[in-house]
Amino acid sequence: MTPSVPRTRAAAALRMKQIALDNQDRTIRRLRAQLATQRRGLAATKKELEETQVAVEASHKVIAGLTEIGLSLSKKVERMKVKKQQVRANHVECHQKFQARIHEAEDSMKAQHLIIEALVDEKDSLLQTIHGLQEANNAPAPFDGDWEEEPEGEPEEEEIEDIPLGEGEIDDE
Q: Quick one: which H or E segment has residue 77?
A: helix 4-137
Contact present, 131 and 141 (Cβ < 8 Å): yes
Contact present, 150 and 156 (Cβ < 8 Å): no
The pTM assigned to this predicted structure is 0.40
Contact present, 134 and 141 (Cβ < 8 Å): yes
**C-alpha distance across the termini of the chain, in Å:** 185
Q: pLDDT by residue for the chain (173 residues), tens digit each?
A: 455 556 788 899 999 999 999 999 999 999 999 999 999 999 999 999 999 999 999 999 999 999 999 999 999 999 999 999 999 999 999 999 999 999 999 999 999 999 999 999 999 999 999 999 888 888 665 555 555 555 555 555 555 555 555 555 555 55
168: left (phi over 0), alpha (psi -120 to 50) or beta: left
